[in-house]
Amino acid sequence: MSEFKFRLDPVSVPKVETKHRRIVTAMPAPGTREVMESIGRYESSNAMDQLPVVWEEAHGHQIFDPWGNAWIDFTSTIFVTNSGHAHPHAVARLKAAMDKLCHSYSYPTRIRAEYLARLVAFTPAYLTKASLFSTGTEASERAIKLARHYGMTKEPRRKVIVGWDGNFHGKTMGAQMAGGYHAQKDWIGYHDPYMVHLPFPYPWVLEETGKSGAELFQDHLKLLQEKGVELNGIAAFLAESFQGWGALFYPKDYIQALREWSRQQDSLLIFDEIQAGFGRTGKLFAYEYYDVEPDLVTCGKGISGTIALSAVLGRGEIIDLDPAYTSTHGGHPLACTAGLANIEIFESENLVAESKRKETLVAAEIERWKARFPDRIGRVYGNGLLWGIFLVKPGTDELDPYFCASVVERSLHKGVFNIHTGRGTIKLGPPLNIPDDALVEGLRAMEEAIAELVSEA
């Protein structure tokens, strides 16, 4: 991870005034530090490590602070606002709903019934039922529980959940144990022997070994056996559809071999689409790039575009294995209203296709970057409006987290707001309905930032 720290004391920067960007103060804007320090004083949070921008308003593809500055948003608040910030249709629906019903637990409501019907109709036909929750990590916990219930209907000892190193499923105990950030698990105090992990099949692994994805999956089955896993004890494979920090997908034939094996063994295949879903990659769900049908799909973030909402979608006979699993705020009437409005926006604006169309715009701009900075732009991966651009140390393939963070900061000074991965990659994820000219303008402002930093080195 980068040791870079964003400057909190204001410095003069060039003024910016375009249709989509406005920088009229020093950066960070005077007053920003005080707000961040106040949050840090009263909340145990990472407020002081965030990009130094105080969010006052956000509309469409833009973020506004209280002091007159405006940024093009390339984060969609970590892939939540896929349909844009404060979309007028969603706002109108929510305002009307606020006057009627502000909470209902899991008691019947018409909005819950309408939303569930639209959600199931909007998603692939083999996903026939859903359970509603409020956060992505709740959805992960639910999927893990359902998988074990399913496995135990076949064999009482069939409880093993197989994940991958580097995958992320949430920060609650079960979700974190199933995830692949192992250094973050010391607090748990024990390791669930039924949670096991495989190495992620990164593209460079296939390049180095010369193996196909299908061959690598067979090697991974052997690795599980070497770890002491009884293959007939596997209840489910839980796969994050891609690793977000680098827009890294599995090899297609790896997942297809896994799906075939799991179907033969009657083990479930679960895709975590919490970050990946709802058009982000140019398909409704990112796993559709693998041409497989999963048994369960976890959703969150972009499912509502606004208010906290998550879901587990799947085959009805699996979802129904634990009908008593409820969540106090799951299926909240306002969240269901937001989710329904989000689907209506997706359909009316054809946002999945828009995401795929805009892929070519991003690709063309990144090609400019590669041609101009060949010793700084390394690997590039992307689908739709999800991109991972590897910034490397000159003359090497080694990621340069410090330089990357400097690009994020300099871009911020130019009116472009990015995700800070801390790993040396630019992770692009603008709203799917960002105007074409704003998308290109933001990418060219980032190109300017890279050029300035390269010339200053």
Q: Are 334 and 112 in contact (CB under 8 A)?
A: no
In 3D, which of 29, 48, 30 has the Cα closest to residue 38? 48
d(CA 449, CA 439): 16
Phi, psi for residue 358 in degrees, rounded to 5: -75, -15
Label the pairing between strands 416-417 and 70-73: parallel
- Separation of CA 280 from chain center: 9
Please give the Cα distance from 418 to 405 (Å, whole number): 10
What whole-number distance in Å separates Cα of residue 170 and Cα of residue 183?
A: 14
Element (H, E) at 131: strand 129-133
Q: Are 94 and 306 in contact (CB under 8 A)?
A: yes
Whole-angstrom Cα distance, residue 32 to residue 69? 12
Distance, in Å, from the CA atom of 58 to the CA atom of 76, rounded to the nearest integer, reads 10
Residue 289's closest CA among 235, 352, 334, 339?
352
pLDDT in tens, the chain (457 residues): 457 899 999 999 999 999 999 999 999 999 999 999 999 999 987 777 889 999 999 999 999 999 999 999 999 999 999 999 999 999 999 999 999 999 999 899 999 999 999 999 999 999 999 999 999 999 999 999 999 999 999 999 999 999 999 999 999 999 999 999 999 998 998 889 999 999 999 999 999 999 999 999 999 999 999 999 999 999 999 999 999 999 999 999 999 999 999 999 999 999 999 999 999 999 999 999 999 999 999 999 999 999 999 999 999 999 999 988 789 999 999 999 999 999 999 999 999 999 999 999 999 999 999 999 999 999 999 999 999 999 999 999 999 999 999 999 999 999 999 999 999 999 999 999 999 999 999 999 999 999 999 999 8
Pairing of strands 242-243, 70-73: unpaired
Alpha helices in 72-181 (DSSP H): 76-79, 88-98, 110-122, 136-154, 173-178
**Separation between Cα atoms, residue 10 and residue 306, nearest integer Å:** 31
Report the alpha-carbon distance of residue 427 to residue 215 in Å, rounded.
Answer: 30
Burial 274-292 (b: 16+ CB within 10 A, else e): bbbbbbbbbbbbbbbbbeb
Q: Structurally, what CATH architecture does the domain formed by 88-349 represent?
A: 3-Layer(aba) Sandwich (3.40)
Domain edges within the chain: 16-86+351-456, 88-349
User: For residue 403, what are its two tokens?
Assistant: 């330089």
Fold of domain 16-86+351-456: Aspartate Aminotransferase, domain 1 (3.90.1150)
Indicate if 88-349 has the same CATH topology as 16-86+351-456: no
CA distance 20 to 103: 37
Which amino acid appears at position 174 of this protein? G
β-strand 195-198 against 242-243: which pairing, if any?
Answer: unpaired
The residues with which 295 forms a beta bridge, in sequence order, are none
